Chains A and B, each alone.
Chain A
Amino acid sequence: MKKIKIGDLEKIREKARRTSSLRQNKARARITVHMGTCGIAAGARKILTALLDEVGQNNLDDVIVTTSGCAGLCSREPMATVEIEDEPPVKYVDLTNEKIKEILNEHIIKGNIVKEYALAIGSERTH
C-alpha cells in the first residue's frame, strides 16, 4: 500500500510554518465557485484550480476560496460570487481562467468590480 511519506510531510510542515506567520489574518474577501452539476459540467473545476493557484502564488491569506452548489442558472456557468466586507456580493458568469484571474486582480486586490463579467450587483446570495 502506497501512502504519502510522513518524513516528506514533516519537511513541508516546517516549510509552511516559516512562511505562514500571517495566516491568522481575518478574511477580507470570499470567492465562492459554484460547483453544482451544471457548474462542473461547464468546467468549474479548472476555474477553481486557476483561482487557488493564483491566490496561493500571491500569498493572499485574507482571501477565502470556497464552493457551493448550483446557482440555478445553468446556461451562465461557470459562475463565482465575490463577497467583500461591507459590500454587496457580485456574481460573475461565463467564467474562463483568464476572467477569474482578472476578477481576482481587479476586484479582490484593487477593489474595482469587473462590470463586463458581472451578472447582477446586490441582492445575491451564494446558495
Chain B
Amino acid sequence: MEDLSLHILDIVENSINAGATKIEIMLAEDINQNILTLKIKDNGKGMDKETVKKALDPFYTTKTVRRIGLGLSMLAQAAKEAEGNMDIKSKKGKGTTIIAKFVHNHIDRKPFGNMAETIINLIATKGLDIDIIYKHCKNENCFIFDSIEIKKELQDIAINNPEVLSFLKKEIEKGLKEIRKEGG
C-alpha cells in the first residue's frame, strides 16, 4: 500500500465484513510529541482472544477464497517501519478497535494520501447502510465528518446522491487543508 488512506480503506473493509454499522476513523497528529495515531473503531461482531492473536499472523484469514490474510499485518508492518506499533482491541459481540502509532516525521512514515477519496468511496458504496465518522486532528485543530449528522440534514435525499457526494468530497478536502494550515 502506498499510503495510509489506502490502508484505512482496507482496514475498514474488515469492519464491513464483520457486519459493522458504525465505523469511526481517527487520525491524530501530535506534533510536539512527534506521534501520529490512527484509530479505527467498529461495532462489528468482534473477535475472541484467540482470533486477535491469529489476526496478526499474515498466514491467518477466516476467508475461504484464499489462504493468507494480509491487511492487518501490512498495517502493522507500516507502523513498525516508522518506529511505531499496532494494537488490536476486540470483544466478541461488541466490536473491534485497531490502533496504529507512527513516529510522525519518520522518513519511512507513509503519507496520508487521499483521505477524501477513501471516505467518499465508502459513503458512495456503503453509506446507506453504514455510518462513517472521520475525525482528523493536527494538535488541537480538528476536522470532523459525521455521516449520521449529515444524513439528518439531508432528510429524504440519499447520502450517495452524486450531487451530495461531490459536495462532501470538496468539503473534506477543504476541511483537511484548513487544519493542516493552522496546525503549523
Which residues of A are interface residues toward B (Cβ below 8 A)? 1-6, 8-10, 12-13, 15-17, 19-20, 23, 33, 35-38, 40-41, 45-46, 48-49, 52, 55-57, 59, 65-67, 69-72, 74
- In the complex, which residues of chain A have a beta carbon less than 8 angstroms from the beta carbon of B145? 4
Residues of A within 8 A of B178 (CB): 2
A52→B120 CA distance, assembly (Å): 10
**Given that A16-B163, A16-B164, A23-B161 are known contacts, is A4 also in contact with B171, CB under 8 Å in the complex?**
yes
CA A48 to CA B121, docked complex, whole Å: 7
Given that A10-B153, A15-B163 are contacting pairs, would A52 and B121 also be in contact in the complex, using a CB cutoff of 8 Å?
Answer: yes
- Known interface pairs A4-B168, A20-B163. Does A49 touch B117 (Cβ–Cβ under 8 Å)? yes
Listed from nearest, the 3 A-B pairs whose CB atoms lie closest are A56-B162, A72-B65, A16-B163
* A13 interface neighbour in B1, B126, B141, B153, Cβ under 8 Å: B153
Query: Is B82's beta carbon under 8 Å from chain A?
Result: no
Interface residues on B, range: 35 or more
- The verdict on A40 contacting B161 (CB below 8 Å), with A4-B168, A8-B171, A67-B125 known, is no
Say yes or no: is B158 at the interface (Cβ < 8 Å to chain A).
yes
Across the interface, B9 reaches (CB within 8 A) one of A23, A35, A52, A59, namely A35
Are B165 and A52 touching (Cβ within 8 A)? Answer: yes
B residues adjacent to A (C-beta < 8 A): 1, 6, 9-10, 13, 17, 63, 65-66, 70-71, 74, 117-118, 120-121, 124-126, 141-146, 149-150, 153-158, 161-168, 171, 175, 178-179
Q: List 15 A-B contacts (CB under 8 A).
A: A1-B144, A2-B141, A3-B144, A4-B150, A5-B171, A9-B150, A13-B153, A15-B163, A16-B164, A35-B13, A36-B13, A41-B1, A48-B124, A52-B124, A55-B162
Bound-complex Cα distance A111 to B83 (A): 52
- With the chains together, A37 CA to B6 CA distance in Å? 9
Known contacts A37-B74, A45-B6, A45-B9; A56 and B165 CB within 8 A of each other: yes
